Chain A
Amino acid sequence: MTLAEDRPTEAEQTGSKPDLFDRIRDTPVGRTIWRSPRRVTPRDRAAAHWSSFAMHIYPVKMKREQIAFKYSWYLGVISTVLFGSLVISGVYLMFFYVPSPDQAYADMQTIQNEITFGQYLRNVHRWSAHLMVLAVVAHMCKMFYRGAYKPPREGNWIIGVGLLATTLLMSFTGYLLPWDQLAFWAVTVGTEMAAFVPFVGDSVREVMLGGPVVGASTLLRFYVLHVAVLPLMIVFLLTFHLWRWRKDSMLETARSEPDV
């Protein structure tokens, strides 16, 4: 590998005057951050993209129409950003919350009234969750109307359906955690729906609740699902989703215009 100082900078290659960014890159600190000189040619820039950890989830090049607003409305990015906002605010709330019927509600009051930024981060978490459900559903509709489920993208559509289901489960398990009347009865009603499945319905509901009714084991189960199992599932599915997106973005999709 060629070290930064061995290679000509853009200024040296083009004979132009080095700008401020060139000079920052050329300091010892700059060279530890950007280990190669500024890329000038398209080939060089593509190589920089491929070798960058931060950029490797993106393809190097895309069609102009694929990056336009009307192509996706950026709903996938918006969903991902909301997920990030949920992780950050959720981890903060985890520091102050114990998932037991004796403590949960009191912890909620403490978070709202005593913890620094507690009320604000709880709001961020709540509204981001609702917005994420909306964004994911909207993303699916947009992809449907664009025909993005057509070959070769069938697999990624199905992963997307899995992500939608996981998002709904995330939101539903989180709904119980405040342990107020709203949470308790919404989850009671929601899990009663599972009981309608013939033969196994009641058993499914009992496994979900950890008992015949919503109680201490339900709270613990929903908490573990909400903070560990389901987020890991989302991260796994999302990684797979983005990897497929990057690979598929380089493929020719189904024809958008019939042959004349």
Chain B
Amino acid sequence: MSDQDLDATSTEVPIQPYSNPAVVDGRRVMGVVPGKPVAGESKDPADNDMVMVWPHLLVRHGVAAIVTCVVVLVIAVLFDAPLRDVANPNLTPNPEKAPWYFAALQELLARFHPLIAGVLVPGAIVLGLIALPFVDRGDYVQRNHRKVAVTTFTVFLVIWLILTVIGFAFRGPSWGWVWPWDEWHGEL
């Protein structure tokens, strides 16, 4: 390579600090090649880009954990857990209420035959949840490609939520209807 060639190159490419073989940090640099960055020209990160879990995910999980702990701490300072009178098998309270997450079942039991409300419905829910991945076999996860599954699930979920709220807050003595703002019978 003549000196002229080198001069021609240097007019096209910005001057590189190590354009000749040089020693950098004790290592010999063979040469510097002008070119595009390996990562591509765009610096906008894409959804599919892989990122290191530490720190990107672990920091987020740490924040989620701290927020959860603070919420529990604040609730526990503000509200005491209930403790009623000592258990008395001879004194049945009215209403008798199951824990809130069984309130929907209890509400169903008040409306339907026990075999339906106490056995068939809960059994169908558990079996349905287990069977879900094998019933909905479509290729796509987008909601408009699995309308049947999303609609069915949403309908059941909404019914269940409504029954839970009714059983928890809208039922009073002898499982009669009450307005929670008039008399409160919900127990946590």
Residues of A within 8 A of B (CB): 15, 42, 45-46, 49, 55, 58-65, 67, 69, 74, 77-78, 81-82, 85, 101, 105, 108-109, 112, 119-120, 122-128, 130-131, 133, 137, 140-141, 144-151, 153-154, 157-158, 161, 164-165, 168, 171-172, 175, 178-186, 188-190, 193, 196-198, 201, 213-215, 253-258
Contacts and interface: CB of A to CB of B under 8 A. Distances in A.
Nearest to A106: B86
Contacts of A125: 81
A244 B114 CA distance: 38
Contacts of A144: 132, 153
A62 to B, nearest CB: 6
A61 to B, nearest CB: 4
A64 B60 contact: no
Contacts of A146: 141
Interface residues of B, number: 76
B133 A158 contact: yes
B88 A184 contact: yes
Contacts of B179: none
Interface stretch (B5-13, B15-23, B89-97): B89-97
A109 B80 CA distance: 13
Interface string B70-88: 0111011101111111111
B132 A157 contact: yes
B75 A123 contact: yes
Interface string B104-118: 011001000011011
Contacts of B87: 101, 105, 179-181, 183-184, 214
Contact of A58 (B53, B99, B101, B129): B53
B65 interface: yes
B60 A69 contact: yes
Given A119-B80, A161-B129, 20 more contacts: A42-B52, A61-B50, A64-B51, A77-B64, A77-B65, A78-B64, A78-B68, A123-B81, A130-B188, A131-B71, A140-B129, A150-B133, A161-B126, A180-B85, A181-B86, A182-B187, A190-B99, A193-B106, A193-B122, A196-B114
A45 B55 CA distance: 11
Nearest to A256: B141
A127 B136 CA distance: 36
Contacts of B71: 131
B181 interface: no
Interface in B118-175: 118-119, 122, 126, 129-130, 132-134, 136, 138-143, 145-146, 150, 153, 157
B17 to A, nearest CB: 14
B140 A180 contact: no
Contact of B51 (A49, A67, A254): A67
A257 B76 contact: no
